[in-house]
Chain A
Amino acid sequence: MSEIKVVANILHTNEEITSQNKRLLNEKGIYVINMMSSPGSGKTSLLEKIISKLKDRIRIAVIEGDLYTTKDAERIEAQGVPVVQINTGGACHLDGKMIKGALDSLNLDNVDLLVIENVGNLVCPAAFELGEDIKITVLSTTEGNDKPLKYPRMFENSGAIILNKMDLLELTNFDKAEFYKDINSLNALATIFETSCVKDQDQGIDELCSWLSQQVNINSQFNKACI
């Protein structure tokens, strides 16, 4: 019997594909967001709001990840931006290979901002890089303020955290002070937004959109400087 020292990264294949994705997206000067959350926290509603506010200024495309159905892609399509639906057929997360396939279906020359809406799941998507510039995690007030500590990996790797369904805050026992305290100990560097997507009475969407357009601008200036 012989022992062989392997020392091989288990996610090597994903990371290799991911860096190919990243190279391609950088070349095209596209800012890429990997948007993650539990099911039902409001990722698609937020995206609808963001698209309607930004689409005249920024060319947006969306990759939708779901186990089954094209329901979310249909909602995004109604906003008039290009969208590709990935159905994982039961898998709990998106990976680099799935994104590579989706990128082939988009005209990347006409995109400034690509949003990848990951499968609704607060656990597994956190472990798989897709080639994004930033991870954004959405948490809704109805889920409870204990979630960042219960599912730390996703929150600690996110550049921004959106606290959604602020309109329902009073109806829940969500403790905002505890939430901020926990985020501070998990990930003190994250930018935090408080939002609500209620029709005609949304909150925090303007702040979120102006921060997003700033990120897209910084990215495009950086890419121009590199060329």
Chain B
Amino acid sequence: MHEVSIIQSVIEIVTKQALDNKLTKINNVTLRIGELSGVMPESLEFAFDSCIKGTMLEESTLNIEIVSALGECKECNLEFPIEHFNKLCPSCNKFCTNISCGYELYINTIEGD
């Protein structure tokens, strides 16, 4: 359940951003989570609902956008959807070490009053 640690960090960052932007109440938080990040959206939602109580985010909703994983082959420059289990380039069959997206774990936007 490292999702709890992640949500605690989200609350910390969002609260600071809200104060910097003179917001008193947060309505929505949008996270962008890469397919390979190893984080489960359902667990994040569960942790969010539990951890926001008593914070500025108490009445906010959580929106999670999943970022597809892509690899870019260093041999033939082909960009292709990559998976944990298959990092071989579909064109030249070389093992791809260059993963261009899929490990994202960031707060994209917040909405508030």
Contact = CB atoms under 8 A, between A and B. Distances in A.
Interface string A9-28: 11111100000000000000
Contacts of A184: 95
B12 A13 contact: yes
Contacts of A123: 2, 38
Contacts, number: 92
B14 to A, nearest CB: 7
B99 to A, nearest CB: 9
Interface string B81-113: 000111110000001010000000111111111
A124 B2 contact: yes
A4 B110 contact: yes
A117 interface: no
Interface residues of B, number: 34
Contacts of B12: 13
A198 to B, nearest CB: 33
B12 to A, nearest CB: 7
Interface residues of A, number: 33
A1 B113 contact: yes
A4 B111 contact: yes
Contacts of A168: none
B85 A1 contact: no
B23 interface: yes
Most buried by A among B5, B12, B27: B5
Given A6-B108, A8-B106, A92-B2, 18 more contacts: A1-B27, A2-B23, A4-B110, A5-B108, A6-B17, A6-B106, A6-B107, A10-B10, A10-B105, A11-B9, A95-B5, A126-B38, A185-B85, A185-B86, A185-B87, A186-B87, A188-B87, A189-B97
